[in-house]
Every structure is written in structure tokens, then in C-alpha cells.
Amino acid sequence: MRFITTASALAATAATLFYAAPSIAASSLNPLEIQGKYFVDSVTKDTFWIKGVDYQPGGASNFQDGSDPLSDPNSCARDIFMFQKLGLNTVRIYSVDPTLDHDECMSLLASAGIYLVLDVNTAVYGQNLNRYEPWTTYTEAYMTHVFQVIEAFSGYNNTLGFFAGNEVINDNTSAIASPNYVKAVVRDMKDYISNNIIRQVPVGYSAADVLDYRVTLSSYLECGPDDEAVDFLGVNSYQWCGDQTFNSSQYNILVEDYANFSLPVFFSEFGCIQVLPRTFQEVGTIFSDEMSVVFSGGIVYEYSQEASDYGLVNISSDGSVQERHDFVALSTEYASATTTGLSTASATARPTTCASSYGNIDGNLTLPDTPAASLISNGLNSTFNRGKWVDITVQSTNFSIYDVSGNQLTDTTINGTDSVPVSSDSATQQTDKNGSGGSSSGGGSSSSGSSSGSGSGSSNGTSTGSSSPSATSKSAAVANLVRDSGKVGGAAVFAVILGLIFA
């Protein structure tokens, strides 16, 4: 973590005097970039392994009432303090409202040394692909929402990447209907970024780990022209439950299956709850030499206790939080997980030519034409607010925080927020790729109408095919790969229990 201590930065402190609260500079976090199958710090060139949690307090639809997980600095300060206690360097968020102001929460995350992997979809109708009839939902209005998320978040250097979709393909029907639409959304996002955004923020996909097409879907998403291929892949896997080993969990097979994958791959969800309490034994294995060559770490499902019962903390209605047993277990495991460095993994070239077919999915290589060509060429108009790091006004939450035994913590200050105050002017603002400059730092946060109901609450998104996090997290829970005790020829057989519960 670097603090700004230059003379010019100090000189700029005068400009901060109009702030009522003490304003603290966001310390900077370097953008990550992708080199081969690894995330790398673009400045230090250190390889980066993700230690994360999935973060969506209140569940999927909590962003609809004018708030989302990154819109309230006081709640962010509470949770980011807890993220530091967990030893995280990354969080994943499933749904945001791009018209809200996320500047202070993103700056707080940066100060705490934490990156964000962000899904661009929401459970609101019109803001996700219908997995069975994707052509009904692949519209200009949908892509407008996606581009708004890109605009809102790509100005933050601690945005690690975007997920174009989460488990859109999760059964045999969607495996036929959706693959080329997922690739089309990836293509549109990458084209939009390449035309309109300075930093080439990576675009990935978060896959349900279904053995029928684990390898074929990832190969299909990896291949082809640069702008049609994902930049990284997340895998939602719950196959390590309780007391297991690298082999007994069949992580060894997972590693073999992705050994040739040319891009970064990591667990975008892990943390089976079939055996409670969770001890997160798998963390040591994920960061061990046998695994860290292929997997760039992982993200535990999930921070807050919700109906699906995966929480690391309880959040009460008064906004106080309390650690649960799993919180303590995970912080212990993350603290002792170290990755020494790359072994002799040889770089695999990304296949720019696709195969003629991919097993158990429709690997149609003709992608639908984009419905948003004009937006991709010209960008959203300049009234759309692009996020940027700002001075921090909240260093510690005013919500109460309790440890697992019920003792209230007295010092809840986030480490890294105590650097020299500087003006927010020192934060580099996103400028238009074409050089027209001047991002609208003060430009209102309203982008109004053309996106179908962003934040409007017009949700019937839990209808069939919504890729809502609540649906997917439940499906992930149910789709846990469990070891079948029946063995065939000594090889453990996985039973894939696929079930989708719509909230």
C-alpha cells in the first residue's frame, strides 16, 4: 500500500479545508493485469492470488431501494473493517445500482487493500439474460445497464474485473440455449471497454461447476477472437465438504481439468455447508503449491448470514454485526495461507481458433449481432457519472461490532485510512478513451430513463431464467457436488445434484 506524501500532495491539503469531517486520502492500489494464467500487479509485477468473500448483505434485491452494498460509507466502514480482520484482498459483489455514488466505499476498499470483482447483472427484469430464451432479453436496454456498470466502476483502480454472467448456463436446457449469448455479452463488454474506457478492465464469467460441461464450456468461453473470449473464469464449487484432502475432495481432478486453461481461473464461490461448523480446511490446499499454479485463489460464499445459511457474520436490524464461528475459522485459515510464488507452470497460448463442437453444450460460434452498436461506438453520453476515488470521511463505522463471544470491539478503525489528507483532485479521473477528456466529476449521478428500470424496483426478475444471485446462490447450494459413496472401479463418482430454486 502506498501513501501519497509528495510535496504537491501536501500542498493540495489546503483544498480539503472545506470538508466538514476530516478527510483522508484513499491510498492507492495498483490495477491488476492479466499475464497468461495469472493476475499480476501492473506496477510491482507481483502475482496476485485472490483471498475473498462474496458480499451482498440483504441478498440479491437489497440494491433496489436506492442502496447497494457500496452506497453507504457507514455500512462499508463496518464491513471493510471486518474484511481486514478476515485478511481479504478481494470481495465479489453480485448486484449494484450504477446510478448511485460508490466513490467513498470504493476508496475505503482501496485504502484497506481490497479489490472488487463485480457482476454486471441484477435480478431486476431487463438487467440479466434469460437463460432459456436469451434472445428475449439481449436488448439495447439491457446492454445500457451493463455499460452503466462498466462506466461507474472502471475508473477505480481496485476494480479487478467484471463478471458478464453468473451461472447463466446451469442445466441442459441453458447449455443449449445460452452459450453464444454469454459470449456475445462478453464481446459487447470488451468492445465497449476498448472503445470508451482507458483501462482495459478484464471481463470474465462465473460458472456453475457442472461436470457434464466443466471442461467444454470453459474451452468454448476461452477460444476465438480476442474480443469474444473471456479474460478470466470463476468457478462456483462446493465440492470440499468437511474433512477432506486434495484427492478425496476431488480438487485434484478440478486442477487437472483446468491445468491447460490459458487464463486465470479461481473459485468465485466456495465453502460447502453440508458439514458444520465450517473449518475452511480447503483454504490451505487452494493456496498450496499443488493448486496455486492453476487456481488464482478463491472467494468464500458469503459474508452475511442470509436465508441460505452461508454467513460469516450476523447483521442485525440495528446495523450491528457479530462474528459467527465460520468468521473466526476463515480468518485463521486465510492468515496462514501463503503462496510462495510460481512454480514452473509453462504458459499455454490462448486458443484463437475454436473447435467445431463442444460436448454437452451448443458451441455455436456464430454470435448474435449486438443490439447496442451505437453505444459501443460512441459510449454512454457524458452525463453518466464515472466513479473515482475520493477523500475518505468515514474511517470507522458507528455501528456496533461484536466478536463471536459477544464482546463489543472498541477500536473499529480501518487500517490504511490514516494517511496524509489530500484533495480528491489528486485522484486521477477517468477520461474518455478518445481523448475528449474531462470526466464529469460533478456530473449528476442520474443517467435517467433509457436503462430499463435501474433501481426502479420494477422487478419480476425472479421469473424463469433470471440470473439473480438469490436464485443462483441457492442453486449453488443445491448443486453442490457431493461425493457419491458408491464407487465404480475405485474412482469416486460425483453425483451432480442440480436443482434450481427460484425465490
Ligand X SMILES: *[C@@H]1O[C@H](CO)[C@@H](O)[C@H](O)[C@H]1NC(C)=O
Please identify every residue annotated as catalytic: 167, 269
Under the binding rule (CB under 6 A), the answer on residue 40 touching ligand X is no
Q: Which of 9, 13, 15, 42 binds ligand X (CB under 6 A)?
A: 42
- By CB under 6 A, what part of segment 130-169 binds ligand X? 144, 157
Per-residue 3-state assignment (H helix, E strand, C coil) for 151-207: HHHCCCCCEEEEEEEECCCCCHHHHHHCHHHHHHHHHHHHHHHHHHCCCCCCEEEEE
Residue 210 Cβ vs ligand X, minimum distance, rounded to whole Å: 9
- Binding-residue pattern over the window 89 to 128 for ligand X, x denoting contact by CB under 6 A: ------------------------------------x---
Residue 134 Cβ vs ligand X, minimum distance, rounded to whole Å: 9
With respect to ligand X, which residue has the nearer C-beta, 144 or 296?
144
Cβ atoms of residues 282 and 239 within 8 Å:
no
| Measured CA distances, 242 to 272, 274, 283 (Å) | 8, 7, 12
Under the binding rule (CB under 6 A), the answer on residue 407 touching ligand X is no
With respect to ligand X, which residue has the nearer C-beta, 9 or 215?
215
| Cα–Cα dist 441/12, whole Å | 18
Cβ atoms of residues 122 and 433 within 8 Å:
no
Q: Which of 338, 352, 407, 434 binds ligand X (CB under 6 A)?
A: 434
| Cα–Cα dist 340/222, whole Å | 27
φ, ψ (nearest 5 deg) of residue 48: -120, 125
Under the binding rule (CB under 6 A), the answer on residue 215 touching ligand X is yes
| Measured CA distances, 53 to 94, 117, 297, 336 (Å) | 12, 10, 11, 17
Under the binding rule (CB under 6 A), the answer on residue 31 touching ligand X is yes
Cβ atoms of residues 253 and 273 within 8 Å:
no
Under the binding rule (CB under 6 A), the answer on residue 431 touching ligand X is no
Under the binding rule (CB under 6 A), the answer on residue 278 touching ligand X is no
Under the binding rule (CB under 6 A), the answer on residue 247 touching ligand X is yes
Under the binding rule (CB under 6 A), the answer on residue 417 touching ligand X is no
Q: Which of 56, 111, 285, 322 binds ligand X (CB under 6 A)?
A: 322
Under the binding rule (CB under 6 A), the answer on residue 366 touching ligand X is yes
Closest alpha carbon to 31 in 117, 158, 153: 158
| Cα–Cα dist 78/431, whole Å | 32
| Measured CA distances, 489 to 255, 492, 493 (Å) | 21, 8, 10
Under the binding rule (CB under 6 A), the answer on residue 262 touching ligand X is no
Q: How far, rounded to the nearest angstrom, does the alpha carbon of residue 142 sit from its chain's CA centroid? A: 19
Under the binding rule (CB under 6 A), the answer on residue 314 touching ligand X is yes
- Applying CB under 6 A, the span of 45-53, 230-238, 374-382, 483-491 interacting with ligand X comes to 374-382
Under the binding rule (CB under 6 A), the answer on residue 355 touching ligand X is no
| Measured CA distances, 408 to 325, 398, 414 (Å) | 16, 12, 16
Under the binding rule (CB under 6 A), the answer on residue 172 touching ligand X is yes
The letter for the amino acid at 229 is A
φ, ψ (nearest 5 deg) of residue 371: -85, 5
With respect to ligand X, which residue has the nearer C-beta, 13 or 84?
84
Residue 171 Cβ vs ligand X, minimum distance, rounded to whole Å: 7
Under the binding rule (CB under 6 A), the answer on residue 200 touching ligand X is no
| Cα–Cα dist 21/288, whole Å | 44
Q: Which of 5, 274, 352, 398 binds ligand X (CB under 6 A)?
A: 398
Under the binding rule (CB under 6 A), the answer on residue 428 touching ligand X is yes
Under the binding rule (CB under 6 A), the answer on residue 373 touching ligand X is no
At residue 270's C-alpha, the angle toward residues 68 and 199, to 5°, is: 55
With respect to ligand X, which residue has the nearer C-beta, 287 or 327?
327
Under the binding rule (CB under 6 A), the answer on residue 415 touching ligand X is yes
Q: Which of 43, 275, 335, 501 binds ligand X (CB under 6 A)?
A: 43
DSSP 246: T
The letter for the amino acid at 94 is Y
Cell of 378: 460512441
Footprint of ligand X (CB under 6 A): 28, 30-31, 42-43, 74, 81, 84-85, 125, 144, 157, 172, 180, 195, 212, 215, 247, 252, 257, 259-260, 305, 314, 322, 324, 360, 364, 366, 368, 377-378, 380-381, 383, 389, 394, 398, 404, 415, 427-428, 434, 447-450, 458, 460, 463
